[in-house]
Amino acid sequence: MTLGRAGEPSVYLLPADWTRRLACLHSANMREDRFGGIKVRLTGGEDREGGGDGPLVVLMHGFGASGTDLVGLWRVLDVPSSLRFAFPEAPQEVPGLFGARAWWMVDFARAEQAMAEGPRSYATEIPPGMETATDQVVQMIEAMQAELGVPDERLIVGGFSQGSMAACNAVFTRNVTPGGLVILSGTPVNLVAWQTGMASRRNMPVFQSHGVHDPLLSFQAAEQLRDEMRDAGLSTEWVPFRGGHEIPMEVLEGLGRFLAGLDYG
């Protein structure tokens, strides 16, 4: 998968055998359901379709990706078989891009400008539509916890790029208190509000990765988010890598260790 100019589908940098295997994994051992009005694909667990009472890992895709973009990751991550995974599909369609979804829309002209001039920080901005999207995400998470029987300490929330920002906004500005947070190639927005919320999330385990050469979202902004979380007392594992807007194998290996090593109560 290659990185589109308007969208930000994730890129897996895996050995050739894994790349071939991922091509057939999106539809294998998966069921679809709706929670809080959002379509969610469930995998892992006792029946490989989200069954059982294991911890739940919710991973949200980035802007411009399809709802199945991250689903294949559950087969790649080296984690206990009891872990359940939920891959929500963003509710908005991106006009002109078949199958592309968004948690909130972005300004394509500004995105093109950023690609031309280089990434910058959006830490002071509150993207239009983000707060409404966050409310939808919170409703989805609450519905999954209630219907799937997932207490806070056995819930992990995160995502890639825009999906990770949606996760952060839910965790830092709403009453979402998971046992861990995953930020893959995401940078801060609404940072003043996030800083306030971080104070009540002290000791929360966080896994954060970012490419040094990311052309869309600033590596320096990701470092700023890392520093803010650490200063607030969050237990942040930082995985920088020499790459762009992507999820390389070293990140997947680190994420697997992070998820496998958490204390789920």
Strand pairing category for 56-60 and 155-160? parallel
Asked whether the beta carbons of 138 and 166 are under 8 A apart, the reply is no
Residue 195's Cβ-side half-sphere holds a number of Cα atoms within 13 Å equal to: 10
Whether the CB-CB separation of 27 and 74 falls below 8 Å is answered with no
159-177 as b/e: b if 16+ CB within 10 A: bbbbbbbbbbbbbbbbebe
Structure tokens belonging to residue 29: 């051992």
Residue for token pair 């996030």: 194
The whole-number pLDDT of residue 118 equals: 83
- The enclosing H or E element of 137 equals helix 130-148
The pLDDT value given to residue 13:
52
Give φ, ψ of 106 to 5 degrees. -120, 160
Burial class (CB in 10 A: 0-12, 13-18, 19+), 72: buried
Q: Which CATH number fits domain 27-261: 3.40.50.1820, 3.20.20.105, 3.40.390.10, 3.20.20.70?
A: 3.40.50.1820
Contact 208, 235 (CB under 8 A): no
> CA-based Rg of the chain, rounded to a whole angstrom?
17
pLDDT of residue 120: 87
Residue 8 confidence (pLDDT): 53
Work out whether the CA dihedral 54, 208, 189, 4 comes out positive or negative. Answer: negative
Q: Which residues pair with 239 in a beta bridge?
A: 209
Domain positions in the chain: 27-261
Q: What is the pLDDT of residue 27?
A: 46
Q: What is the pLDDT of residue 6?
A: 40
Residues 152/118, Cβ–Cβ less than 8 Å: no
- Give the pLDDT of residue 10: 54
pTM over 0.75: yes
Q: What is the DSSP letter of 189?
A: S
pLDDT tens, residue order, the chain (265 aa): 223 334 455 554 544 444 444 444 444 579 999 999 999 999 999 999 999 999 999 999 999 999 999 999 999 999 999 999 999 999 999 999 999 999 999 987 777 777 788 888 999 999 999 999 999 999 999 999 999 999 999 999 999 999 999 999 999 999 999 999 999 999 999 999 999 999 999 999 999 999 999 999 999 999 999 999 999 999 999 999 999 999 999 999 999 999 999 999 8
